[in-house]
Amino acid sequence: MQGNKIDLKELFVDSRIKPLLSCFAEGPGWSIGHKLRDAAQAQRDIELEEKQPTTDKNGLKVVCGRFRLDKLYVEVFYHLFPDGKTLSIDGRIVNDQKEPLPLVRQPRSFLQNITVSPETRIISTSLCGGTADSSYPPHSFTLRRSELLNWMTGDSSVVSFHGGMRGRSTDNDMPYFAVQLGEKGGLFFALEWPGDWGCRMERSGESVCFQMGMEGINLTLLPGESIPLPGALIGLYTGDWIEGCNALRQTIADYYTPKLDGKAIVPPVFYNSWWAVGLRCDEARMKKEAEACARIGGIEYFTQDAAWYEGCKTSFSEGVGNWFIDPKKYPHGLKPLADFVREKKMHFGLFIEPERASYDSWLAKEHPDWIVNGPEPDKRNLVDFGRPEVVNYFSETMDTIFKENNVEWIRFDSNIDPQPHWHQRDPAERQGISQIRHFEGLLKFWDHLLIEHPTLLIEGCSSGGRRMDLACLKRSHTYWCNDQTVHFDLVRYDLTGANLLLPANYLNHTVTSKTQASDDYVNPELPPFAYHCHMGGTFGFAMIMQALNEKEIISARKHIEVFKKIRHLLLKKYVPLFGQPVALEGWDGWQFHDPEQDEGVVFIFRCLSPEVTAKVQLHWLNKSTTYQFSNLYNKEIKLYGGRELSTGVEVSLNTMRESQVWHYRKLEGRSPGESSK
């Protein structure tokens, strides 16, 4: 970084990525569409007025730049990560003039041009969003590998992505990307914005442009008004595309996942009431479920999901906006259940959905002005978090509920597409302002929970995984990533893809066997395959636990024991061993590897493949090292040489829908091929 300028490529200092940086064009790394210019055109007119070094609240080095784009004032912070090859950008766009300033559009938190040779292959890796699907393969968490071709005719090659444009960030695509530039490495980037966003990658001749930022913004800034430039994460990596995915995944785990009571999170083991108990929750029934969970042992959190509040007659949606306890279900409040759960050595959890209010709820009746466009019957009414009084109400109300009942887990849900509400309210010259103010208030409330309740484990949720951008992940310890949790093949598919870019603590599903089961329901015995399909993320249960027989209890207990032995490895390096199988007539597999300890875990699934054997090739192993593989269920031990494992070994599974889990570690003092006792 030289003179009075800020050039994005000069902020990276790791010498290993210098060859990659040489193709970066000069520029600040962000831009704003203004008046009739799009963001790429306007970037050339951005002028730096002042820069200065500082530090942020996390102790990271920061370069603060104060810029002008015409009369717009933009303050931007570049947070420099210790590894020298990763940084984040955020800031604010300000009208410090005395008159309105039209027209702000296309705020691009990341906009970078690079120059490549004609023969350089450029391949982007990304994921589809967290929708709930009932067919295989599902849309959810599908791996997308998109190549920007070098057209010799002069036409450009374009690939674009968006969150869905309904106000939830991962309803269509996820804002996480690893882009391979040739054979030596590439860049990754991600966005912090819970609403509408877009990403465009365009290759034209030797020039490639990457840009990503908010969508639906087309507004005149009023005097003294400001809006955010949402955070963007940008990093560079060396190696192949798998290394790029892992670099992004590890950065999220190391720098974005919040601590829980000052400690790093590991994927938890939990129970959730919804898929088994549903609307029929009450104190007596839930105590029986808690007692059954304690009998199994190892379950750490016990969560009372939706319908604990008044007004849920035929749907949990009927009661949202009544944030007080249903006296018929819980005549003595929630505290007796919460105390009972703690007596059973588990933490108590609760569901909340603050952004929605039923038409006849207390909140809608008492504060109709808090509802965007006013409350309407038979509608999903959006609560306006752009109002400070709404943020204060939920902060105070939830503080009281959580403290009185010692709540240590919340499912922070959102089951509404907010964009139609905002679009209806915003005038043409102010499109996007309601979206911006809503999320500023919502994130302020979210931050309040993290600060005031340091032992509270926050599980994000939005009809499953429809809002899993980086802003939401950095405020959640874990995430309910898909409402399709019943069919284990769909869960396995999700985890095979999602683990490429997201740490496993954010991949919540629950082992269950029937939705909304009746009281006399008897759980069918689930095979190990079904349990193993859930072990690549958190490990949850949503059965009627009191209906499990002794054999099923022993089985569940064993799976929990195995999961706890290997869950620390789920946050390390990851590779899908068979890609992401698009048909059930195949094999699937996962490898998680800790390079510092040289240990890992391997999951192998024979789905409906007619083939009894498959070749498995492991990654990151030392070819001169012997590895001990332990079957954590039957104590079987095998020894393999790292060279053999790296080129591939044959694995046999005798039946369809059979699976195995192997933990491995380096074995000191043994030569490859030496037999075990």
The reply to whether the predicted model has a pTM over 0.85 is: yes
Given a cut of 90, is residue 503 above it in pLDDT?
Answer: yes
pLDDT at 401: 98
- Closest of 4, 182, 193 to residue 110, by C-alpha: 193
The kind and range of the H/E element at 293 are helix 283-296
Select the more confidently predicted residue: 673 or 115. 115
Given a cut of 80, is residue 232 above it in pLDDT?
Answer: yes
Select the more confidently predicted residue: 235 or 184. 235
Average of per-residue pLDDT across 220-243: 98
The residues, ordered by sequence, that sit 6+ positions from 115 with a Cβ below 8 Å of its Cβ are: 23, 25, 206, 207, 208
Q: What percent of the chain has pLDDT over 70?
A: 96
Q: What would you report as the CA-atom Rg of the chain, rounded to the nearest whole angstrom?
A: 26
Contact 195/419 with Cβ under 8 angstroms? Answer: yes
Select the more confidently predicted residue: 3 or 282. 282
Residue 434 three-state SS: helix
Average of per-residue pLDDT across 519-536: 78
Residue 645 three-state SS: helix
The token duo for 587 is 């094999």
Contact 250/570 with Cβ under 8 angstroms? Answer: no
What mean pLDDT is reported for the chain?
Answer: 94
Residue 275 three-state SS: coil
C-alpha torsion sign, points 374, 375, 380, 381 = positive
pLDDT at 514: 55
- Closest of 642, 645, 641, 639 to residue 676, by C-alpha: 639
Contact 160/226 with Cβ under 8 angstroms? Answer: no
Average of per-residue pLDDT across 479-487: 93
Beta strands at 226-238 and 185-191: parallel, antiparallel or unpaired: antiparallel
Average of per-residue pLDDT across 591-603: 98
Residue pLDDT, tens place only, 269-302: 999 999 889 999 999 999 999 999 999 999 999 9
Given a cut of 50, is residue 1 above it in pLDDT?
Answer: no
Rounded CA separation 536/139 (Å): 19
Rounded CA separation 225/432 (Å): 14
pLDDT bin (cut points 50, 70, 90) of residue 672 is very low
| Stretch among 367-376, 413-422, 516-525, 585-594 having the lowest mean pLDDT | 516-525
pLDDT at 379: 81
| Stretch among 522-536, 569-583, 585-599 having the lowest mean pLDDT | 522-536
- Closest of 125, 146, 120 to residue 205, by C-alpha: 120
The token duo for 197 is 């966003």
Rounded CA separation 673/380 (Å): 64
Average of per-residue pLDDT across 539-563: 94
pLDDT at 56: 87
CATH numbers and ranges of domains, the chain:
8-255 (2.70.98.60), 269-453+509-564 (3.20.20.70), 573-666 (2.60.40.1180)
Contact 651/604 with Cβ under 8 angstroms? Answer: yes
What are the strands of the beta sheet with 599-606, ordered from one edge?
Answer: 573-576, 587-594, 599-606, 658-666, 626-631, 637-641
Residues in the chain: 677
Given a cut of 70, is residue 260 above it in pLDDT?
Answer: yes
Cis peptide before 137 (omega within 30 of 0): yes
Residue pLDDT, tens place only, 488-502: 999 999 999 999 999
Given a cut of 90, is residue 540 above it in pLDDT?
Answer: yes
pLDDT at 561: 98
pLDDT at 512: 86
Given a cut of 90, is residue 671 above it in pLDDT?
Answer: no
